[in-house]
Amino acid sequence: MHRYAQKLHQLIRSLLLLSLITATGAQAAEKIDLIIDTDPGADDVVALLFALASPEELNIRALTTVAGNVRLDKTSRNARLAREWAGREEVPVYAGAARPMMRTPIYAENIHGKEGLSGVTVHEPKAGLAEGNAVNYLIDTLKAAKPHSITIAMLGPQTNLALALIQEPGIVQGIKEVVIMGGAHFNGGNITPVAEFNLFADPQAAEVVLKSGVKLTYLPLDVTHKILTSESRLKQIAALNNNASKLVGDILNEYVKGDMEHYGMTGGPVHDATVIAYLLKPELFSGRAVNVVVDSREGPTFGQTIVDWYDGLKAPKNAFWVENGDAQGFFDLLTQRLARLK
């Protein structure tokens, strides 16, 4: 009887250990189902290469493009270029909104160059756009998705998602989280004294997304202006000596000049790439849940994000606002992922 009890005890322990190993393996293998909405843009292309080099963690369903840093035809071409450079032509690219919901279109060619990609030569990619419109793709995909299963990374103006939400409010059921590069609070703006470009380019769209009730995380200028290039960080990327590292180095060496000169900083930010780092390694970042409001009224505060950091209004907290990040940890992670590409 004693021997039987011992064997039973050993069997139970073995089964418990097996179930623990299986559960741990399943958890480790769980990927983020991701749609990247983007307006490439120099930092967008760095972000796209970063994401496309991380297939173990990110199941990228599609790239959706929007007018922003440059016109839609150029952002769509640049997204396809990033896909080609990463060797990930199987990821579809859908073109979306060619203009903001209400305001006059505005572009950032003075920062990103006329083609939207400073520092490198652009060409027409071999693979074309997917058939259909980005807004319809978002509606169809989110309607069909399992509840709260798809994450959306928003690297530009939020026009595509806002239009989808207006047409089909029920698509919120498919959204797990929306992670946005945009906004500014402590830092001040980069297009006006108070507004960050992505919000300034379409504040009405940002309002729609804020009011939708989806889980929101913002990576604003407050954090991106703390994660800066340096000579040593650019050298560690260059040391990879592959095509991806050369592309990123050439893009960043040209792109960061404007911010370094304008702000008197020792390095430049890689704004949109912080969204990808947050998805891959959120422990690099810190912030707090806050109430955020976007100002869409004409005037000097147009496009401003009003952030109740100290909870003075006691208003419902509708976003997680990232305020700090590990700069060296970010560049180490970016370098590790670029090493996977050719």
Give the catalytic positions in this structure.
271
Pairing of strands 93-95, 175-181: unpaired
Six-digit token pair at 241? 């000596």
Backbone angles phi, psi at 214, to 5 degrees: -75, 160
Q: Could you tell me if 287 and 309 are in contact, meaning their C-beta atoms sit under 8 angstroms apart?
A: no
3-state secondary structure the chain: CHHHHHHHHHHHHHHHHHHHHHHHHHHHHCCEEEEEEECCCHHHHHHHHHHHCCCCCEEEEEEEECCCCCCHHHHHHHHHHHHHHCCCCCCCEEECCCCCCCCCCCCCHHHHCCCCCCCCCCCCCCCCCCCCCHHHHHHHHHHHCCCCCEEEEECCCCHHHHHHHHHCHHHHHHEEEEEEECCCCCCCCCCCCCECHHHHHCHHHHHHHHHCCCCEEEECHHHHCCCECCHHHHHHHHCCCCHHHHHHHHHHHHHHHHHHHHHCCCCCECCCHHHHHHHHCHHHEEEEEECEEECCCCCCCCCEEEECCCCCCCCCCCEEEEEEECHHHHHHHHHHHHCCCC
- As a whole number of angstroms, the distance between CA 197 and CA 190 comes to 6
Pairing of strands 305-307, 216-219: unpaired
